[in-house]
A and B are shown apart, each in its own frame.
Chain A
C-alpha cells in the first residue's frame, strides 16, 4: 500500500531536488548553507500556510480564489485591533477569526446558491479586497511593534529555536492538516466528495456541511498566513498579497493535487511551495531578473502536471 503513496510524493520530491541542484550548481555551495535554507523556509512560510488550507479545498474538488484578499483583510484587522490597544494575541485571533468568517461565507454561498466555487470565490476575492481597502481607508495602517513582528525574524544561530517561531507554527499546522486529511472521518469525507460527490451522497456523507467546514477551516489557515504576512510587513496593508492565491494553487498542483478533486497531500504541497521558493531565491541570488523567475516558475507548473499525467497513465 505504501508504495503507491510513496510514488505520489516521489514526483514533487524529485522536482524539488532537481530545481535545488540546478541552483546549487548555478549559485554554488553557499546555496545549501543553513542560513540560506532558513531564508527559503521563511520565504515560503506564507504561501505554505495558505496552501495547507487550499490542499483540503482542492482535495474536496473545490477551489478558493479569495486567499490573497483574505490575507490582506486579516493584516488590516490585526493592525486596526493593535491600534485599539488589543493584545497582540487577541489581534492575531481577530485576524484569523475574520478570515474564517470569509471562508464560512464562501462555504454557505457555494452550498446554498449551488454556484460553483470558482465563481463564488472569484466574487469574494474582489469583494473582500474592497472591504479591506474600505476598512483601512485605502492606506497602510502603521502599528506599534509587538512580538507579532518577530514571528519570521531570523533567530540567533546559537538559540535552541533553530528556525523562527513562525516556521514552527507552519510545521505544526502542516502535521495537523496531514493528520486530518489522512486519519479523520472529516478528511476521508473530503476525498470522497472530491473524487465523486454523488458517491459521497449515496454513502450518507453530509456533503454540504463538510464543504462549509472545509472552506471555513481553510480560510482560518489563510488567516494564519495573514498573521505571518503582518509579521513580515509590520503594517496592515489592504493591497498586500495580490495574486497570492495563484502561488498557493500552484504549490498544491506542483505537489500532486488535482483540480478535479480527490487527490492531494500535505507533504506534496509543502514540497511544491518549497520548489517555488527555491526558484525565487535561487534566481535572485544568481542575479537573474524577476522575469526569468516567472518564466521558470510557469514552466515548472505545466511540467509538473504533465509529468504527473504521464506517471498516472
Chain B
C-alpha cells in the first residue's frame, strides 16, 4: 500500500525544457512515492523521454525544481544522478556483452583494494543483487552477450540495485520481450515495489501498463494531459494520449478476397504452407522465438531454406529479395534501425532505394526526381520532417516506420510482408498505419493489395486481420477467420495450452 502521508520519494515541480522553438516539457509536475509504480504514457514527442532525461541528469531543465526524499536534487550528469540513487534502464540496454554477469553488475564501481579488483566481493555483491530480484540462480560467469534479452534486462536491473538506487526509471523495457519474459519482469517490478523503490515505467503497451502500474500519468505535448488509476478503461487512456476519441482505431473497409498472390508450400524444416490472397490481411500470431520472423525472412529470401517453394504469380522457386521485389513482393523488417532503414541517409534515398528505375534516363538517377518522388509519399503518409533530404535517423520512430512503409508503396508492390510494423511507435502513427493498411486492401482501392502481418500485439492482429494463423515452434497452425478468434484463444494456441486439455 502507498502511504500518502510520507513525503514522495521524488517530486518534480514546474519542470520546463525547450529545444529551440519546441517546448518539449512545458511545466510538468510529477511525484512518485516509495513503493509505487507510476506509468508514464504518451505519444512519441509527448515529453516522456525529455522528462526522464532531466530526472536522470542527462539534460538540465530550463526551469523547475526537483526533490529526492524531501531534499533538493539537482544532478549535474547521469553519474551524479546514479550516485544519488536514480537509475535509468533504457530501451537499448547498456551492458558490455563480452563481460560476465557479475562484471556487468559492478561495472564502474568494482570493489577494489589498492587498484586490484576484489573478486570475492564482486561475486558477493552480484549474487546479492540478483537474489533480491529472485534470480539468485543466474550463473555469474556467463558473458552477458550469451543471455537472452530478458536475462540481460535482469542484469541491468541488478546493476541499478547494486548501486543502491531509490528511483528506477524503465523506458520501454518489454518492447523486445516475449510474453513469458514480460511476466518475469513484472515479478521483478513487484519485488522492487515491495522493497520500497519508486518506479517510473514508460511504455506504449497500454494493456501492459494497466497490469503493472498503480497509477498512470498521461503526457501530451509536454504537459500532463491527465492521470488515471490502472483500472481505467484503455479507451480512456488512449483518448487522453491522442487528445481525441479513437473509438475506431482499426478501421475496416469492405474487402473482397481475390486470387492467391503468394503461395507458400511445404516451406522450411517444419513444412509451412499458406496462401495469401489479394484483398486480405493475413496475420501470423505467436510467441517471440516461435519462428515468425524467420518464416517471413525466408519467404522474402533473406534467409536460406532447404525445403519447399514459394509461388508468386506465375513464378515458382527459391526466392531472393531481388526476385521477390521484381515480382511485386516487398518486406518491412522488424529491426527498423538495424535493417529496415539506412538511418544516416536522407529520407528520399531510403524511400526510393529499392526502385531507382524511372527516376532518370537510363542508368541515371536525378536527385530532383528522387526528392519529388519522396515528397509525394511524405505528404500522403503525413511524414513529419523538414525536407526529403533530412537523414532518416533524425525522425521519430513513427515517422521512420512510415518511411519504411512508403518505400514499399513507392516500389508499388502487390504483397506487403510486414514484420512488427508498429513496434515501439506512438499511438498516432499506429492509427495512421492501421488506416493505411486498411486502404491498401480495401475493395474500393484501384488495385487491392495483400498484406502478410506478423505482430506480437494481439489486439492489433485481431483488429486488422481477416485471417490469422498461429505459429508455434516453427510450425504454422491453420488459418482461421479473425472474427472467430479472441486474444485468449490465440494465446492458448501460441503457448501450446497442453495444460488446458
Contact = CB atoms under 8 A, between A and B. Distances in A.
Nearest to B364: A183
A183 B360 contact: yes
Interface string B332-369: 01010011111111000110011011001001111100
A83 interface: no
Interface in A162-210: 182-189, 191-192, 195-196, 198-206
Contact of A202 (B333, B344, B366): B333
Given A188-B356, A195-B342, A198-B338, A1 B387 contact: yes
A205 B353 CA distance: 8
B353 A192 contact: yes
Contacts of A1: 367, 371, 387-389
B254 interface: no
Contacts of A4: 389
A182 B342 contact: no
Contacts of B364: 183-185
B321 interface: yes
B341 A196 contact: yes
A107 to B, nearest CB: 19
Contacts of B325: 203-204
Nearest to B407: A203
A42 B269 CA distance: 63
Interface in A256-278: 262-263
Interface residues of B, number: 34
B302 A201 contact: yes
B363 A202 contact: no
A196 B342 contact: yes
A200 B345 CA distance: 12
Nearest to B339: A198
A136 to B, nearest CB: 39
B405 to A, nearest CB: 13
Interface string B392-424: 000000000000000100000000000000000
Interface size class of A (residues with CB under 8 A): 20 to 34
Nearest to A5: B389
A183 B367 contact: yes
A191 B345 CA distance: 8
Contacts of B363: 184-186
A175 B345 CA distance: 23
A182 B340 contact: no
A211 to B, nearest CB: 15
Contacts of B342: 191-192, 195-196, 199-200, 262
A186 B364 CA distance: 9
Interface in B155-194: none
B326 interface: yes
Contact of A184 (B302, B324, B345, B365): B365
Contact of B349 (A186, A191, A206): A191
Contact of B339 (A186, A188, A202): A202
Contacts of B350: 199
Given A184-B364, A184-B365, A196-B341, A202 B349 contact: no
The residue in B331, B345, B357, B371 that gathers the most chain A C-beta atoms within 10 A of its C-beta is B345
A202 B363 CA distance: 21
Contacts of A262: 342, 344-345
Most chain B CB within a 10 A radius of its CB, from A195, A205, A263: A195
A203 B365 contact: no
Nearest to B324: A204
B322 interface: yes
Interface in A1-41: 1, 4
Nearest to A206: B322
B321 A196 contact: no
A188 B349 contact: yes
Given A203-B354, A204-B326, A196 B343 contact: yes
B408 to A, nearest CB: 10
A199 B356 contact: no
A203 to B, nearest CB: 4
A188 B363 CA distance: 11
B388 A199 contact: no
A297 to B, nearest CB: 28
Contact of B302 (A188, A191, A192, A202): A202
Contacts of B367: 1, 182-183
A202 B297 CA distance: 10
A195 B339 CA distance: 11
Contacts of B356: 185, 188-189
Contacts of B338: 196, 198
Interface centre among A4, A185, A199 (most CB of B within 10 A): A199
A186 B363 CA distance: 8
A182 B343 CA distance: 19
A204 B322 CA distance: 4
7 closest pairs, A vs B, by CB?
A: A195-B342, A203-B354, A196-B342, A204-B325, A1-B389, A198-B339, A203-B353
Interface of A: 1, 4, 182-189, 191-192, 195-196, 198-206, 262-263
Interface of B: 302, 321-322, 324-326, 331, 333, 335, 338-345, 349-350, 353-354, 356-357, 360, 363-367, 371, 387-389, 407
23 contacts: A1-B371, A183-B367, A184-B363, A184-B364, A185-B363, A192-B342, A192-B353, A195-B342, A196-B338, A196-B341, A196-B344, A198-B335, A199-B339, A199-B342, A199-B350, A201-B321, A202-B302, A202-B331, A202-B339, A202-B340, A204-B324, A204-B325, A262-B345
